[in-house]
Amino acid sequence: MKRVLIANRGEIALRIIRACHEEGLEAVAVYSAADRRSPHVRAADHAIAIGPAPPAESYLSIERLIAAAHESGADAVHPGYGFLAERAAFAEAVEQAELIFVGPPSAAIRAMGDKTEARRRMQEAGVPIVPGGSAPVDDPAAAVAAAEEIGYPVMVKAAAGGGGKGMRVVRDPGALSAALETAASESLKAFGDSSVYLEKFIEHPRHIEIQVLADGERTVHLGERECSIQRRHQKLVEEAPSVALSVDLREWMGAAAVSAAQAVGYRGAGTCEFLLTEDGSFYFLEMNTRIQVEHPVTELVYGVDLVREQLRIAGGLPMRVHPGWLNPRGWALECRITSEDPANGFLPSTGRIEYLRVPAGPGVRWDSGVEIGDEVTLYYDSLLAKLIVWAPDRAQAITRMTQALDELVVVGVATNQAFHRRLMADPDFRKGEIDIQFLERRADLLAQNVSPGRILDLAVAAALAEDHARHARRPVATAETATPSEWARQARSEGLR
Ligand code: MV4
């Protein structure tokens, strides 16, 4: 493996390019017409135009990506996340073109993509799954009987689903047939498949996911990520480790994730999603057969570069992690900075990034795909950057994140920065008292409850306070201070510059 084509854009494309270079590999960027001048294009060693801005004609076109790989002389393809990352047909097309797919075998993607098949495989492997059916239900009468057996509330889920589409909660038999119908039609529209199945609905769980790595020889886990802070299936904040896991529970869930990966012949980096209840029971939900957005929090607490390990494994090298070393150290938090306007129902906001001040300092990581001058459009995901911090413990990580959020300035597009600041200050969040419904209960954190007029007053007050603080910080010469000249000494003592 010498040259890797990155079938993606934005922050993850840059992240992969950096890993390629550290591994001594060349990186090939692909770009749509909207991304001609994007940072990932400049960072790569080669760049190939693959089509117009709409994803269907560029980043989602298997044909154009394979053609770009051949044209550039690439011998491997990294899909990143989103776009084609979990399409078994893409992995297959890459394999058939005699290129290396930097990801799991297409068969593992396919097995985990069908949720009822995944449940059957997990059951055989002894991985705990949510009580419910492991085959699609085809008629309402059978569904009523199955729901009775499972016990209400139940959840209707799309067999082809994932990520929350085609799901319905049903609290009594009277509501079941309508839910079956809407879930089936939603699933048909989203995935081209109308099969649905039933599960027990788990109330107020945490969303915990376990990172795994497999190199064909060994399969290991790298602990958990706590991903409960989400809104409408979009994660906003992730952390590692989770306050809810003891050392023992981490090993139990880790062992379950390793069994899940082994059951489908997994290779590379992958993530098993679990629901964790208050009493410490956990249930496998699904496996994400890709590198995930939130992978950096695991990297920081485990000291492992997951993307470099993906590249090594794809190239046939053993992974450089040894189970004996794998212990989490300290605490990491990630805030997803999106171009979404909290004052406008979190709708995507567009515009030119007119100014950007990036946070820095010890334990601060900024994974971003945008720079000053870049245009934020509606063609792609609204993720602008991931702000990630590491500190020795959770309280210090929150303090560090608060400071980093204070340093961050984005001018030109609305962002969710203020939401993150409110969350970091929230007493319940600081106590770690969170579950997947946290933000539904806490609409106050999502809302911008400051009027525009009040913001102007606050801006003036902030400017005055900053000016005052600068005066207070101005160095004053003392008797011991070596003075380069009488002019400078006088100027300093008078507070002049
Ligand atoms: C569930 C559930 C409760 N009970 N299944 C959402 C996305 C998909 N991965 C599965 N999901 C859920 N499945 C049962 N039986 C609650 C969710 C769920 C959820 C899960 C993880 C993170 C956020 C979520 C938000 C709403 C619902």
> Considering the chain, what percentage of its residues have pLDDT values greater than 70?
97
Q: Which atom of ligand 1 is nearest to the CA of 200?
A: 15
pLDDT, one tens digit per residue, over 135-155 is 899 888 999 999 999 999 999
Q: Which atom of ligand 1 is nearest to the CA of 203?
A: 3
Determine if ligand 1 sits within 6 Å of the CB of residue 419.
Answer: no
Closest residue CA from atom 13 of ligand 1: 285
Q: What is the pTM of this model?
A: 0.91
- pLDDT score at 387: 98
Handedness of CA 292, 275, 258, 106 (dihedral sign): negative
- pLDDT score at 475: 65
Helix, strand or coil, per DSSP, at residue 291: coil
Ligand 1 centroid to 434 CA: how many Å? 15
CA-CA distance, 14 to 78, in Å (whole number)? 12
pLDDT, one tens digit per residue, over 167-202 is 999 999 999 999 999 999 999 998 899 999 999 999
Active-site residue 290, yes or no?
Answer: yes
Cis link prior to 348 (omega < 30° from 0)?
A: no
Per-residue pLDDT for 483 more than 90? no
Ligand 1 centroid to 157 CA: how many Å? 10
pLDDT, one tens digit per residue, over 199-242 is 999 999 999 999 999 999 999 999 999 999 999 999 999 999 99
Burial group, residue 487, by CB count within 10 angstroms (0-12, 13-18, 19+): exposed
Determine if ligand 1 sits within 6 Å of the CB of residue 445.
Answer: no
Q: Which atom of ligand 1 is nearest to the CA of 161?
A: 8
Determine if ligand 1 sits within 6 Å of the CB of residue 200.
Answer: yes
Closest residue CA from atom 22 of ligand 1: 207
Q: What are phi and psi of 421, to 5 degrees?
A: -65, -40
Task: Quote the DSSP letter at residue 132.
Answer: B
- Taking alpha carbons only, the member of 193, 198, 190 closest to residue 114 is 193
Burial annotation 321-336 (CB, 10 A radius, 16+ → b, else e): beeeebebebbbbbbb
Determine if ligand 1 sits within 6 Å of the CB of residue 11.
Answer: no
